[in-house]
Structure 1
């Protein structure tokens, strides 16, 4: 069949053989014409347009008072200045993001955190139940532990307390007095459990996550996986958190909710929680599989010789993105196969890029087995490090690879390439996790140069870059706010138990 022609405002789906409208503006796109080529003459109009593109940045880089003054003089939320217009709320948010306050907890640099999640839960103390912030961390030595953030730890008999130091304050002239000291982190002695191998991934269940709501006994669980070792493979575990946490003498009641769901004879790199069907979806060195958390039935939906380093569920839980070691991002249907269908997975041949080398020779294609969409398979220059799907429109996702590339893609327009690129990231071989704030305004990542960087998701502009750690900030998560709290302008970021207000 002849290829479908492109229609403005529509994209063509080859599987469904029909056109679909492109809804909403593409993040980072612009209605302005592209920059002229280097050989193009610099006309006065082009010079005005180029200067106009940087005027908002110059206005923002001056002071917050100048931005407020411009808004008051204009009297609107959109500021017009020198051939450009700026959204006041966006520019104000960028100012805050570019001037964070960074806290470091003394003594936590030797913990070796490799997986991290934040929970807002009820904790049982001798004085009764109280709601507080809790960190669930997994370390490279296989330790899974709870740490309480705040003053609840004072009610426990023994444990380790880490105090916070203000490491950086990028707001000129502002200092933190004694009454503004950040809350300490407290870990009771019995609040840690040693697993067989490294904790490779932690994912919150529906009732533990602000992104989904669901009822049932399976909803209040935390999903986590172990990487595996030279003598044994990795395993999938769940930890029930329906009851209030007891981090004191009754800590054994908390650990009693731990269950091993499945074990594998392979390496478990990553995992996702399928909220719709209460399944664990794992990425291994043999491909991708799903495990029903109730029946514990295992189903392989992807078989390949390249490790699955990153995953992200999209399309309302019907398909999943799998980021491979060879740089490919594969779209696979991971729904359970009907009994009438054959158990054998379909074999696909995916072409390599012309400049992609495998070993000492060049290969034209690689094999995959599974229910995948070949036309929705793309490649990045190096191994995939992280994948993050956006919530406002799950067709958009951010991907990073180990050569330092960070790109924003539209799943409907994959063959056209990236929608936005984020420059300045430093990486060569490390699996570094991306962070996107709950309001989806910024992209954040650590780097192999031990720097933390923050970009505007929409424009790709680098807003913040600094080094305040001696190790790579490879793990991060944003604080989960309860539904009763107003949307906070400043979110909390944890990276190797290093906290930054942005």
Structure 2
């Protein structure tokens, strides 16, 4: 029987549910499927050509089109698009990129930006701070601006402009970025590589304001041959002391739980006061007060990526074998028997060719919905949900695929595809801007790319680092998804993205 228009059928709950809101990226023309193999040189050249065309657009041309066609601006001879959207895409395609001199040895693996109170001799002051993790297990604070004041020595990094795509502006016209200062004793050496950093509600741009935990950072170590991964929290409620009393800042560090295996990733569940971790043995939740661990997924495939959606009711887990598993944390079905339920997840015929196996299914144990499990064509690299409507999430895999999915319509396939991404073996973080219009990611070719989430259009593509840009975080002090009408064409200089790689620290902004 055909489904009623505007509704979808959930086989697990045996009922229809309404499809809410417009699907991001939907269009009248057929969607181009993502490439399942490494991109050819011709595809990369065409992508670069699109980026050049975008950068060649000028405000005067867009304004002329708006005067002729109202709020519609002609993007090409094949389609028409909104003037505001075209203006924002034009801005996004013209960033200015800076590299901080002297950060080459940082080898950044995790990176977050905070706006916090810092204690000085003159009292408390609000300051921009970077919290970084590295391959050697170093966790460190660095202050943006205010260099050398009230500090007992340290290292100062100044920014050099390495790329400028704004026409009519030279290096002499660029505003000088604030230097970054790393005080002495601002780094703490952990037992192994820092695998993830997640911020609590007070600092996260995507966190609710009334969460139970305020002013905490969660971070994990990967683990090594001699010790497993560990979950830590750092209390940041009190003002930071980055001067002689910096050891008082690190006194808020607390070890929550240790594991025998590898911790690849983590998420901070603010509402339930827990950490959700992905390991080489499956996925588990850790109570941040008691340290109690509860496994909700056991599998033979590593959990490389996770995402908490629907206020913590649903947890997405991305596996090494390419599966994306949906866990409903509201229904603890395994508690009835004290054991995790075993599920057989069928392979699609195309999947079997990719993984090189003749098996028709793979086995999972956990509180999952098999009908809400999908597979990408390679290992999952990153997952990112959209806060505007967290039924939508972005997923990237280690064959260069990047797609947008709707949780309500998973079996229908991807809603949007993003072509041009290059990845073959690396866990690379995607970065979604606070307005959720654009997504960016580094690639194995050391290029950074930026796409429109709605249209899938590649807006920016260039190489300015000799190593992979593997981590991204946006500089933001809060956000709203609906911009004020009078500010919709204004470029906010306070918005920018911090980029981390083995080569060092970069900053990307839009003038």
TM-score scaled to structure 2, two decimals?
A: 0.88
Report the number of matched residues. 480
1:212 aligns with 2:220: no
Distance 1:73 1:310 in 2: 47
Match of 1:10 in 2: 7
Shift of 1:127: 2.3
Q: Give the direction of change, closer, same or farther, for the CA distance of 1:71–1:307 in structure 2 (3 Å limit).
A: same
Match of 2:345 in 1: 350
Which has the higher mean CA deviation after the structures are superposed, 153-162 or 444-453? 153-162
Which has the higher mean CA deviation after the structures are superposed, 210-219 or 116-125? 210-219
* Secondary structure of 1:177's aligned partner: helix
Partner deviation per Cα, 1:267-299 (whole Å, 9 max, x = no partner)? 000000001111000000000100111122111
Shift of 1:6: 2.8
Contact 2:334 2:341 (8 Å CA) reproduced = no
* Secondary structure of 1:154's aligned partner: coil
1:499 aligns with 2:503: no
1:432 aligns with 2:428: yes
Match of 2:165 in 1: 170
Match of 2:418 in 1: 422
Gaps of 5+ in 2: 33-48
Contact 1:299 1:336 (8 Å CA) reproduced = no
Match of 1:117 in 2: 112
Match of 2:303 in 1: 308
Shift of 1:211: 2.4
Match of 1:186 in 2: 181
Match of 1:236 in 2: 231
TM-score scaled to structure 1, two decimals?
A: 0.90
* Secondary structure of 1:206's aligned partner: coil
Distance 2:341 2:30 in 1: 44
Match of 2:37 in 1: none
Distance 1:374 1:478 in 2: 35
Residues 328-477 of structure 1 mapped to structure 2, 5 A cutoff:
328-335=323-330, 337=332, 341-355=336-350, 356-357=352-353, 361-477=357-473
Match of 2:24 in 1: 27
Greater RCO, CA 8 A, separation 6+: 2
Which entry has the higher C-alpha Rg, 1 or 2? 1
Match of 1:39 in 2: none
Shift of 1:480: 2.1
Distance 2:54 2:464 in 1: 27
Contact 1:59 1:67 (8 Å CA) reproduced = no
Which has the higher mean CA deviation after the structures are superposed, 169-178 or 361-370? 169-178
Partner deviation per Cα, 1:422-462 (whole Å, 9 max, x = no partner)? 00111100000111111011110000000000011111111
Match of 1:134 in 2: 129
* Secondary structure of 2:206's aligned partner: coil
Shift of 1:333: 2.2
* Secondary structure of 1:134's aligned partner: strand
Contact 1:347 1:367 (8 Å CA) reproduced = yes
Distance 1:59 1:294 in 2: 50
Contact 1:132 1:152 (8 Å CA) reproduced = no
* Secondary structure of 1:180's aligned partner: coil
* Secondary structure of 1:233's aligned partner: coil
Shift of 1:63: 1.8
Match of 1:77 among 71, 77, 83: 71
Which has the higher mean CA deviation after the structures are superposed, 490-499 or 199-208? 490-499
Residues 471-486 of structure 1 mapped to structure 2, 5 A cutoff:
471-482=467-478
Gaps of 5+ in 1: 36-53
Shift of 1:173: 2.0
Distance 1:393 1:289 in 2: 25
Which has the higher mean CA deviation after the structures are superposed, 80-89 or 148-157? 80-89
* Secondary structure of 1:252's aligned partner: helix
Match of 1:47 in 2: none
Contact 1:328 1:384 (8 Å CA) reproduced = yes
* Secondary structure of 2:226's aligned partner: coil
Q: Give the direction of change, closer, same or farther, for the CA distance of 1:473–1:216 in structure 2 (3 Å limit).
A: closer
Which has the higher mean CA deviation after the structures are superposed, 265-274 or 82-91? 82-91
Match of 2:253 in 1: 258
Distance 1:340 1:327 in 2: 28
Q: Give the direction of change, closer, same or farther, for the CA distance of 1:34–1:268 in structure 2 (3 Å limit).
A: closer
Partner deviation per Cα, 1:129-164 (whole Å, 9 max, x = no partner)? 211111000000000000011124433131000100
Contact 1:113 1:137 (8 Å CA) reproduced = yes
* Secondary structure of 1:414's aligned partner: helix
Contact 1:301 1:333 (8 Å CA) reproduced = no
Distance 2:84 2:168 in 1: 24
